[in-house]
């Protein structure tokens, strides 16, 4: 069996060959350092697209190449890997670990499903709301993994009810599975820590343009967008694409109650994590108010995130026995690779900025006669459909600095263009390989590629329209 596909073998060689070709080409009228950054970007993009090497390992390339080619000193490159945004996400990851370790995330999911009701359409809605809510705080992969076994239990119960037709059963199973995957993708858009592309954008804005978007400010844009998109997805799933009218389903309430009963009453450890998590969210929401009364505190989203992370390690659950919610060994499950990926994206953006590449793009756009709306629409469309083929984190890391340059060239605020383009990177609904939630539900066996693609292309098209409207009408009111 061939465990290393030909595409990866080609990518493994093509990456460094692209670097060598661009680095020593005489076709580009740029400085040696600027060419080095472009060559590095090309190498990274090839490896990111083909995944010939881990995408996190690929993100380390600037640490080697930039100092050797004189783009930046090693300390300056390394600073990007220790950016405050990296630590914001680190804190978020630790909070997610705490939720998962005490099983609080499962209790939250089951409770939401129970509250929404147990008729077929309401079960789909319950799964979608629960998945989206979790995806706002923990990774979309983790939220999907939590929901999948619960969903499979519900679907298997339904299949065993002989009075239901196979078509209705199939449609219900499809709606549940696709609803979970799509809600996991869309839910992460709602918060800064919900999905990595959001944090990459925040880091770029702070590092390069001294622009700060608070946790609450992002939610003013991200949460309504996520709610609208999930509402549209729900309507398409249960009323247009895969309706299951007339389906009798009484067993689901017994299953949900049974699963909740297994969890028992809220445990002291769950309460402990809930207090920490609630305090962190409270501080994120009211940070600006607190800072206005106590300016010496200088609270930032990153500081609050780290406070929450340290609390789970340092505030004892049982002082007498020395029991804490998290031990350092628990961080073996932490997505360290994603943190490195953030750093690599920020380093690449810094390299593009410091060597004048972003300025070059800016001047080119400024000299042209481009329609702002058409340019924005094409960038959103490009990002949204490219994210079906490659990592959205890598995509934003490469394209965000370029998009910022285009916005400057068009003489519009960079936030107007960067926010919808970044959001577009999380709208991956067409293909199983586009995002882990899609792949996870595809592996369940209930979803076929053509079924995902058929509804996915519709959702993608709707998302493009919403994002263009966001660019033209909503963002100018908020920023």
Going from the first residue of the chain to its last (479 residues), give the mean pLDDT of each consecutive group of 10, the final group possibly shorter.
Answer: 78 93 82 90 84 85 94 92 80 82 79 74 88 85 75 70 65 91 93 85 86 88 95 93 72 72 86 88 80 83 87 88 88 82 80 78 68 87 76 77 86 92 90 76 80 90 94 89
> 93 and 55, same structural domain?
no
Q: What is the DSSP string of 287-352?
A: HHHHHHH-GGG---HHHHHHHHHHHHHHS-SBTTTTB-S--GGGGGGS-HHHHHHHHHHHHHHHHH
In terms of domains, do 136 and 52 share one? no
279 within a domain of the structure (yes/no): yes
Residues 6+ positions from 336 with CB-CB distance below 8 Å: 56
Residues 66, 90: one domain?
no
Domain assignment present for residue 287? The answer is yes
Residues 181 and 91 in one domain: yes
pLDDT of 2 reads 58
> Where does a domain end: 308, 333, 358?
333
**Residues 13 and 155 grouped into a single domain:** no
Overall number of domains in the chain: 2
* Same domain? 137 vs 252: yes
Q: Are residues 214 and 320 in the same domain?
A: yes
Of 70, 71, 21, 19, nearest in space to 47 by CA: 19
Q: In this structure, is residue 460 part of a structural domain?
A: no
Q: Which pLDDT score is estimated for 14? A: 93
Distance CA 60, CA 55 (A): 9
Rounded to 10 degrees, the C-alpha dihedral 452/228/440/242 comes to -40
> What's the pTM?
0.70
pLDDT (0 to 100) of residue 69: 92
Q: Are residues 139 and 253 in the same domain?
A: yes
Rounded CA separation 231/237 (Å): 10
The reply to whether 189 and 317 lie within a common domain is yes
pLDDT for 435 equals: 76
Query: Is residue 103 domain-shared with residue 206, that is, in the same domain?
Result: yes
Are 40 and 115 in the same domain?
A: no
On whether both 161 and 286 belong to a single domain, the answer is: yes
Residue 21's domain spans which residues?
1-71
CA distances from residue 119 to 114, 126, 160, 235, 465 in whole angstroms, order as listed: 11, 10, 16, 15, 32
User: 173 CB contacts (<8 Å, ≥6 apart)?
Assistant: 155, 158, 159, 446
């Amino acid at each position: 069996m061939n465990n290393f596909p030909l595409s990866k073998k080609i990518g493994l060689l093509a990456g460094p060959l692209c670097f060598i070709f661009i680095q020593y080409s005489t076709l580009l009228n740029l400085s040696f350092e600027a060419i080095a950054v472009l060559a590095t970007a090309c190498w990274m993009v090839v490896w990111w697209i083909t995944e010939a090497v881990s995408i996190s390992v690929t993100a380390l390339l600037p640490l080697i190449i930039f100092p050797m080619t004189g783009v930046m000193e090693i300390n300056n490159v390394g600073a990007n890997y220790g950016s405050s945004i990296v630590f914001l996400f680190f804190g978020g990851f630790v909070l997610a670990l705490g939720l998962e370790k005490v099983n609080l995330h499962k209790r939250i999911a089951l409770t939401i499903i129970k509250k929404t009701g147990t008729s077929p359409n309401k079960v789909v809605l319950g799964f979608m709301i629960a998945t989206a809510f979790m995806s706002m705080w923990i990774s979309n992969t983790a939220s999907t993994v939590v929901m999948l076994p619960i969903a499979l239990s519900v679907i298997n119960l339904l299949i065993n009810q002989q009075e239901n037709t196979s078509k209705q059963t199939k449609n219900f199973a499809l709606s549940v599975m696709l609803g979970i995957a799509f809600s996991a993708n869309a839910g992460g858009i709602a918060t800064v820590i919900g999905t990595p592309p959001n944090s990459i954008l925040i880091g770029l804005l702070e590092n390069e343009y001294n622009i700060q978007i608070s946790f609450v400010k992002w939610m003013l844009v991200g949460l309504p967008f996520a709610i609208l998109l999930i509402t549209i997805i729900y309507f398409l799933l249960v009323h247009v694409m895969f309706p299951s009218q007339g389906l009798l389903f009484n067993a689901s309430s017994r299953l949900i109650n049974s699963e909740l009963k297994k969890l028992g009453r809220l445990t002291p450890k769950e309460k402990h994590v809930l207090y920490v998590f609630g305090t962190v969210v409270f501080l994120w929401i009211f940070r600006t108010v607190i800072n206005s009364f106590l300016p010496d505190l200088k609270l930032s989203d990153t500081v609050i995130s780290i406070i929450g992370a340290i609390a789970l390690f340092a505030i004892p659950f049982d002082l007498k026995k020395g029991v804490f919610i998290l031990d350092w060994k628990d961080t073996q499950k932490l997505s360290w690779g994603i943190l490195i990926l953030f750093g690599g994206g920020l380093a690449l953006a810094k390299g593009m900025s410091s060597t004048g590449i972003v300025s070059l793009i800016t001047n080119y756009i400024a000299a042209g006669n481009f329609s702002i709306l058409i340019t924005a629409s094409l960038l959103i469309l490009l990002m949204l459909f490219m994210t079906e083929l490659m990592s959205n984190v890598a995509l934003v890391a490469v394209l965000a600095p370029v998009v910022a340059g285009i916005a400057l060239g068009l003489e519009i605020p960079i936030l107007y263009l960067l926010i919808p383009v970044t959001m577009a990177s999380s709208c991956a609904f067409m293909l199983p390989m586009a995002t882990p939630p899609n792949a996870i539900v595809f592996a369940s066996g209930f979803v076929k590629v053509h079924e995902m693609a058929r509804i996915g292309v519709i959702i993608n098209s709707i998302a493009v329209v919403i994002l263009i409207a966001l660019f033209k009408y909503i963002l100018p009111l908020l920023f």
